Amino acid sequence: MSLSITSLASIAIDLQSGIAHPDRFARLIRTLRQLLGSDATALLRYEDRQFCPLAIDGLAQDVLGRRFALDAHPRLEAIARAGDVVRFPADSELPDPYDGLIPQHSDLKVHACLGLPLFADQNLIGALTVDGMNPLQFDSFSDEELRLVGALVAGALNTALLMEQLENQTPAAAVVPAARKNDGGEMVGLSAGIEQLKKEIEIVAGSDLNVLITGETGVGKELVARAIHSGSARAANPLVYLNCAALPESVAESELFGHVKGAFTGAIHHRTGKFEMADNGTLFLDEIGELPLTLQAKLLRVLQYGDIQRVGDDSSQRVNVRVLAATNRDLKQQVLAGEFRADLFHRLSVFPLHVPALRERGDDITLLAGFFCEQSRAKMGLKQVVLSAGARELLHRYDWPGNIRELEHAIYRAIVLARAGHPAGELVLEPQHFQLAEVVPQTMPAAAADLTPGVDNLRQATDEFQRRVIVQTLAANGSSWAAAARQLQLDVANLHRLAKRLGVK
């Protein structure tokens, strides 16, 4: 069977009419599957030497979260380089990025594979990959026909990308689409919560407001701060990081504002404070809830008057700094408890941004799992890493108190475990590779039940529960914090911090 004029005309019309639709890419890919009779089809966008799936059909859902670097994928690299239709022979040595990711044929390798690079003017903007299980599946299509399909899809993709840019147009987004920029951390996720967050980031990035970023531990607050900075007019200037929790009160002031030589015993040199370093840029104050009250007063002063005083210096100095602050604590609660200044809270939270917990992000769990599988695969030089259906389900059921950081570590650990039995490097992650079982919600009710009577404050109840778990785990591990942290799958520093906050230490 080859493509008739009518079928080509119908995809042209279909592509054009679908363009205004929000899931335009998904429609496009469905049309192509019908047209080409493929088992798996993916539309990929090309940017920064990597391919990012925009829509998939016939492939595991987690493929949407995978990012395929050219350097790690010779097959995609060949498509990017070719400038024309590429047909891979069935016995091609080049690994297929989708091996094991076609759910209907999970144990089979891809046999027929076509790649169509997509161009706008002379620039590569994407690729279409078309895979089939039958080696001869696409032989009936001529190169000319496939080229024509490629040209139609490229046109539709280009228009769609332009439209997307227009839709996201805010003053700052015109310069950098902040949330999409891949400078050390793309924000993977398509859930409503994360789409909303990306919009808010683009809006707030363009303003010069201070921003308070809230959310549980490991949700990506730092990533949000970086996205705001890189989407702002200050992007070319420094983003300076300061963790308020790691600051002993005695050095905190000089850390923030600097000191002059001789300011105190041991001050043998001038020292530049973080505020000065961030001049004309952004200062990211992480864990702002831990900032001692005395320093809160000094910080407030800078935010009000825009000038700083170095320790030991009578004169003050003007700085132009935008402050982004983050916390996983309930600052309002802290204000009520007298631990955080109300006036500082109001200054900082002119534009509050809340980062949703992973358990509230629905299928983002799958996407992020795919993202981390592919990332670890490339880093560890493995051939393929896929999730079994059981593993995907387990990841969905679990409630991720440590959020994305916990997921990242869980995937990494699962890979290490799975690799032990598979030196060939083609790994299928199964439920038993994840050690989440003991904390999966199903096992919780018994423990939680005795807490529920009289619970009228979820936060307090949760704290109490965590306190008990930590105490018990410590006892079970001979008071070793490191061992307890391992068992609880927490970073040991985070466990210390949590214990400190809960008053266990």
218 interacts with, out of ligand ATP, Mg ion, none, CB within 5 to 8 A per kind: ligand ATP
Among 18, 117, 218, 401, binds ligand ATP (CB under 6 A): 218
391 interacts with, out of ligand ATP, Mg ion, none, CB within 5 to 8 A per kind: none
* 322-327 and 282-286 beta bridge pairing: parallel
Q: What is the dihedral of CA 245, 251, 254, 257, to 10 degrees?
A: 20
Task: Report whether 459 contacts 372 (CB < 8 A).
Answer: no
Task: Kindly indicate which of the ranges 173-181, 217-225, 239-247, 331-339 contains the residues binding Mg ion, using the contact rule CB under 5 A.
Answer: 217-225
358 interacts with, out of ligand ATP, Mg ion, none, CB within 5 to 8 A per kind: none
Of 299, 317, 209, the C-alpha closest to 256 is: 299
189 interacts with, out of Mg ion, ligand ATP, none, CB within 5 to 8 A per kind: ligand ATP
Nearer to ligand ATP, 150 or 218 (CB): 218
Listing from the earlier edge strand, what are the strands of the sheet with 239-243? 239-243, 282-286, 322-327, 211-214, 351-354
Point out the residue whose Cβ comes nearest to ligand ATP.
Answer: 220
Among 185, 193, 238, 390, binds ligand ATP (CB under 6 A): 185
Among 99, 145, 186, 222, binds Mg ion (CB under 5 A): 222
404 interacts with, out of ligand ATP, Mg ion, none, CB within 5 to 8 A per kind: ligand ATP
230 interacts with, out of ligand ATP, Mg ion, none, CB within 5 to 8 A per kind: none
- 338: number of Cβ within 10 Å: 9
- Using CB under 6 A, which residues numbered 425 to 464 contact ligand ATP? none
Based on the shown chain and the rule CB under 6 A, indicate whether residue 289 belongs to the binding site for ligand ATP. Answer: no
**C-alpha–C-alpha distance, residues 502 and 493, integer Å:** 14
Nearer to ligand ATP, 185 or 238 (CB): 185
Nearer to ligand ATP, 226 or 310 (CB): 226
**C-alpha–C-alpha distance, residues 283 and 278, integer Å:** 6
Task: Kindly indicate which of the ranges 110-118, 220-228, 425-433, 445-453 contains the residues binding ligand ATP, using the contact rule CB under 6 A.
Answer: 220-228
Among 200, 253, 276, 408, binds ligand ATP (CB under 6 A): 408
**Per DSSP, what are the bridge partners of residue 240?**
283
Task: Kindly indicate which of the ranges 64-72, 221-229, 240-248, 480-488 contains the residues binding Mg ion, using the contact rule CB under 5 A.
Answer: 221-229
CA distances from 346 to 194, 238, 342, 437 (A): 25, 25, 6, 42
Q: Quote the crossing angle between the two packed helices 24-36 and 5-18, to the nearest 10°.
A: 170
Nearer to ligand ATP, 362 or 390 (CB): 362
- Using CB under 6 A, which residues numbered 314 to 343 contact ligand ATP? 328
**Per DSSP, what are the bridge partners of residue 272?**
258
Nearer to ligand ATP, 57 or 286 (CB): 286
Task: Report whether 287 contacts 244 (CB < 8 A).
Answer: yes
Among 329, 405, 409, 486, binds ligand ATP (CB under 6 A): 405
Q: What is the DSSP letter of 311?
A: B
Task: Report whether 367 contacts 62 (CB < 8 A).
Answer: yes
> Buried b / exposed e across 442-463, counting CB within 10 Å, b at 16+?
eeeeeeeeeeeeeeeeeeeeee
**C-alpha–C-alpha distance, residues 126 and 124, integer Å:** 6
Based on the shown chain and the rule CB under 6 A, indicate whether residue 376 belongs to the binding site for ligand ATP. Answer: no
Of 58, 56, 84, 68, the C-alpha closest to 154 is: 84
Task: Kindly indicate which of the ranges 118-126, 214-222, 421-429, 482-490 contains the residues binding Mg ion, using the contact rule CB under 5 A.
Answer: 214-222
Query: 384: which 2 tokens?
Result: 């393929």
Count interface residues toward ligand ATP (CB under 6 A): 18
185 interacts with, out of ligand ATP, Mg ion, none, CB within 5 to 8 A per kind: ligand ATP
Task: Kindly indicate which of the ranges 179-187, 216-224, 271-279, 421-429 contains the residues binding Mg ion, using the contact rule CB under 5 A.
Answer: 216-224
Based on the shown chain and the rule CB under 6 A, indicate whether residue 219 belongs to the binding site for ligand ATP. Answer: yes
Based on the shown chain and the rule CB under 5 A, indicate whether residue 426 belongs to the binding site for Mg ion. Answer: no
Residue 324: CB minimum distance to Mg ion, A: 12
Q: What is the DSSP letter of 177?
A: -
Among 31, 50, 217, 232, binds ligand ATP (CB under 6 A): 217
Task: Say how far residue 389 (Cα) sits from the centre of its chain.
Answer: 23
Nearer to Mg ion, 222 or 279 (CB): 222
Q: Which helix (H) or strand (E) holds 370?
A: helix 364-380
Among 77, 222, 399, 430, binds ligand ATP (CB under 6 A): 222
- Using CB under 6 A, which residues numbered 230 to 269 contact ligand ATP? none
Task: Report whether 248 contacts 222 (CB < 8 A).
Answer: no
CA distances from 384 to 99, 373, 375, 419, 503 (A): 7, 9, 11, 11, 45
Among 152, 172, 178, 188, binds ligand ATP (CB under 6 A): 188
- At 28, the amino acid letter reads L
Residues that bind Mg ion (CB under 5 A): 222
> Which residues of this protein are in contact with ligand ATP, per CB under 6 A?
185, 187-189, 215, 217-223, 328, 368, 371, 404-405, 408
